[in-house]
Amino acid sequence: MNRTKSLQLALILSIAISSTFFVSIKIIIDVFPAALPTQPNMITSPPSNMPPVQPKNTPIILPNYFIILVSTPKDPLSSFLVTFYDKSPYIASIMWGLFLFALIYKGKTRSIWKRNGYGYDVFKILAKMRGSHTRIKIMQSLSIPKNKHQLAEELNFDWKSIDGHIKVLLKHELIQETSVSGTARFFAITNKGVEVLQLLNETQS
């Protein structure tokens, strides 16, 4: 889930950059007409007593592979590029807006967690890092004390995986060890863990 969000953000940024690049090309073409590729000037036959005159081309500022942007598309890829080029000002505005919104949201989330006395690292282990959803399920399940084997059976996870998540949650004081029965250690969610789950729900709603 978190990896998907990161990929989505990366895709938005790549589209924003590429569309901005096309906007710059569009500006060059609009501001500098000489950038448009043109056909060689037509040369009439000179008199027989004059040396032949070589045809002259209008200077082309754009590289050859940009000619497609000002010509008639002949295949689906070319059509897509031309459409993307034509709509690039709108696409760039939308994508940069989405990207900036994501950054602002991240900053706002950091501020909310800090204001409530929690570091952003706690938010990351429950909302951004790999396994965050599993850790949330463990915390919710530990409203009643359980050992690792009971958690693994209830959540249908491998015992070793549960053990790794338990260590992370203990480190951040989101759960605590409550008792020991033989070789089984029982854990329960802490008051801090309850508050963090509530705050997480508020910031993601």
CB 155 within 8 A of CB 137: yes
The mean per-residue pLDDT over the stretch 111-133 comes to 78
**Token pair listed for 177:** 């060890």
Give domain limits for the chain: 2-114, 120-204
Helix axes 159-171, 148-155, angle to 10 degrees: 120
Alpha carbon distance 68, 79 (integer Å): 9
* Distance, CA of 42 to chain centre: 52
Token readout for 93 is 């505005």
Res 1: pLDDT: 44
* Sign of torsion over alpha carbons 103, 104, 108, 109: negative
User: How does pLDDT run across 33-74, given as a tens digit for each residue?
Assistant: 554 555 444 445 555 555 555 544 444 444 455 555 555 666
Q: What is the pTM of this model?
A: 0.52
CATH of the structural domain 120-204, one choice from 4.10.520.10, 1.10.10.10, 3.40.50.2300, 3.40.50.1100: 1.10.10.10
Rounded CA separation 61/79 (Å): 22
pLDDT tens sequence across 160-201? 889 999 999 999 999 999 998 888 899 999 999 999 998 888
Tokens 């029965």 belong to: 181
Alpha-carbon distance of 193 to 195, in angstroms, equals 5
CA 148 from centre of chain: 35
Distances (CA, A) of 48 to 43, 44, 54, 119: 14, 12, 15, 88
> Which residue has 């549960």 as its token pair?
162
Torsion, Cα 177 178 181 186, to 10 degrees, reads -60
Q: How far apart are CA 101 and CA 86, in angstroms?
A: 25
178 φ/ψ angles, rounded to the nearest 5 degrees: -105, -35
